[in-house]
Amino acid sequence: MQRFHVLNAEPVLREALLASAGAGTRVALLESSARARSTEFTVVPVRMRTVCGMQIQAVGRALPSNYYSQKSLLSALKDVWDPTGRVTSRLERVHDAVQVSGRHLALPIEEYRNLSTFEATNDAYVRSALELGQNALCDGLAHAGAAPSEIDHIFFTTVTGIAVPSIDARMVNRLGMRPDVKRTPIFGLGCVAGAAGIARVADYLKAFPDQLAVLVAVELCSLTLQRGDHSVANMIASALFGDGAAAVVMTGADRLEKDRHKKGPTVVASRSVLFPDTEDVMGWEVCDQGFSIVLNAGVPNLVREKIRPNVDGFLADQGLSLGDIAHFVFHSGGPKVLEAFEDALELPSKALDLTWKSLDRLGNLSSVSVLMVLRDTMRELKPAAGSYGLLLAMGPGFCAEMVLLQW
């Protein structure tokens, strides 16, 4: 039997020693601690945690020029929604509770009065989404030092409008991408799509490591507001959601070898989790006027119940624990959801500061939010080389997507 003397806090060393022992070997680990102990077991083949080389080069963004304070938005909603004052007190409580100070809107606020049909609203979505998506992608490419003609695959996600040809196809024509560029438009993932999109781009780059792929997310939540719906869920949506776009530029391992000066995080691993029998928690109901919000008040409780074991399991499979994570890049879903994350994961003080700040400045941008927080993490915190980050979002399904990053 082989015997090794290791430190409790060195999971990477532990993995390396076990791998060197070889499958089928009996091993005893003697751990150094105040209460030293010996653990004996048989080594089985394991997949070692490695940095795979799918790197995030840059995150671009685009926000509409129309920015309004929460007070201005509340006043406008009162005029349209509640001229008699019947629900004013409830509206005020909801707008105060979401802890948002202001939001960007796709259109000037006075133009929303003219959107009386789903057709008119969706036409506005197509026009605005194309402009914002292009601007976000150009911003991301400029920071990555790449041109539109270098894009091999464009992933596009949204949940706030419909377009056929899809927005990504129209962007190909306008930005001069190659005619052989691959496209994957994604609809329906909602808030989780920013994290899921990064994971799917990384999956693609595993198969095509010499290529450059991008994720473009555009959400114009203001264009989904139902003016005839006085439900609490719709009031929360009116107070919480904003508009914006983000674009993530990523390269595979082979291409990365040519661009060693790039300093973005690498995608180490990802995991999708779908929670059974939770389809009614979040989503849309499609009605004559467009998309009507479905938002169950039990979402924070689901986070508290479900997220910790799944995060722990995901990290453990990579030989890590929450204590190894230096940066938490979470979707800004709302105050109660963020508090549930903090409680369930027992996060360090200020671990979600950038997420809270994004919520305050921009509101919840659905799939775009977690990408905005990733951008802020890369630019403001400048994580140390070798440090780990956990990118996480949840959305309709009800589901979660976790992405392990390493700088």
Concatenating the DSSP letter of every residue in 112-175 gives GGG--SHHHHHHHHHHHHHHHHHHHHHHHHHHHT--GGG-SEEEEEESS---SS-HHHHHHHHH
Average pLDDT over residues 85-94: 80
Task: Please check the confidence at residue 403 and state whether its pLDDT lies above 50.
Answer: yes
- Verify whether residue 191 is a known catalytic residue: yes
Q: 84: pLDDT confidence band, cut at 50, 70 and 90? A: low
- The residue among 24, 4, 57, 76 whose CA lies nearest residue 247 is 57
- pLDDT, mean of residues 346-374: 96
Q: Identify the pLDDT of residue 227.
A: 80
* 33 & 95 share domain: no
Question: Which of the listed ranges 230-234, 262-266, 337-341 does the model predict with the highest average pLDDT?
Answer: 337-341
Residues 26 and 83 both lie in one domain? no
Residues 205 and 187 occupy one common structural domain:
yes
Q: Are residues 216 and 323 in the same domain?
A: no
pLDDT at position 298: 82
Q: In the prediction, which pLDDT does 83 show?
A: 62
Q: Which domain holds residue 22?
A: 2-42
For 299-347, what is each residue's pLDDT tens digit? 888 899 999 999 999 999 999 999 999 999 999 999 999 999 999 999 9
User: Does 47 reside within a domain?
Assistant: no
Does residue 295 share a domain with residue 251?
no
User: What is the CA 366 to chain-centroid distance, rounded?
Assistant: 8
Residue 27 sits at the vertex; the CA angle it makes with 25 and 29, to the nearest 5 degrees, is 160
**What percent of the chain stands above pLDDT 90?**
66
27, 125: one domain: no
At residue 255, the pLDDT reads 82
The yes-or-no verdict on residue 35 having pLDDT over 60 is no
Lowest-pLDDT range of 65-74, 126-135, 254-263, 279-288: 254-263
Domain count, the chain: 3
Long-range contacts of 274-280 (CB under 8 A, 24+ apart): 274/397, 274/398, 274/399, 275/302, 275/306, 275/397, 275/398, 275/399, 275/400, 278/302, 278/397, 278/398, 279/396, 279/397, 279/398
The CATH number for 139's domain is: 3.40.47.10
- Span 121-152, pLDDT tens digits: 999 999 999 999 999 999 999 999 999 999 99
Q: Are residues 273 and 310 in the same domain?
A: yes
Which region among 111-120, 140-149, 256-265, 342-351 has the lowest average model confidence (pLDDT)?
Answer: 256-265
Q: What is the pLDDT of residue 278?
A: 87
Same domain for 64 and 106?
yes
Spatial distance between the Cα atoms of 61 and 186, rounded to a whole number of angstroms: 19
- Return mean pLDDT, the chain: 86
Q: Span 240-254, mean pLDDT?
A: 95
pLDDT digits (tens, 9 = 90+) for 171-208: 998 999 999 999 999 999 999 999 999 999 999 999 99
From the candidates 191, 221, 287, 399, which is the catalytic residue? 191
Residues 168 and 311 in one domain: no
Q: How far apart are CA 15 and CA 319, in angstroms?
A: 8
Lookup: tokens for 222:
């203001």
In a domain, 49, yes or no: no
**Confidence at residue 163, expressed as pLDDT on a 0 to 100 scale:** 95
**Do 133 and 175 share a domain, yes or no?**
yes
Please report the pLDDT score of residue 312 as a whole number: 96
Identify whether residues 254 and 270 lie together within a single domain. no
CA distance 195 to 13: 30
- Chosen domain end from 258, 276, 299: 258
Same domain, 17 and 86: no
How many residues make up the chain in this entry? 407
Residue pair 365/66 in contact by the 8 Å Cβ criterion: no
Share of residues in the chain with pLDDT > 70 (%): 84
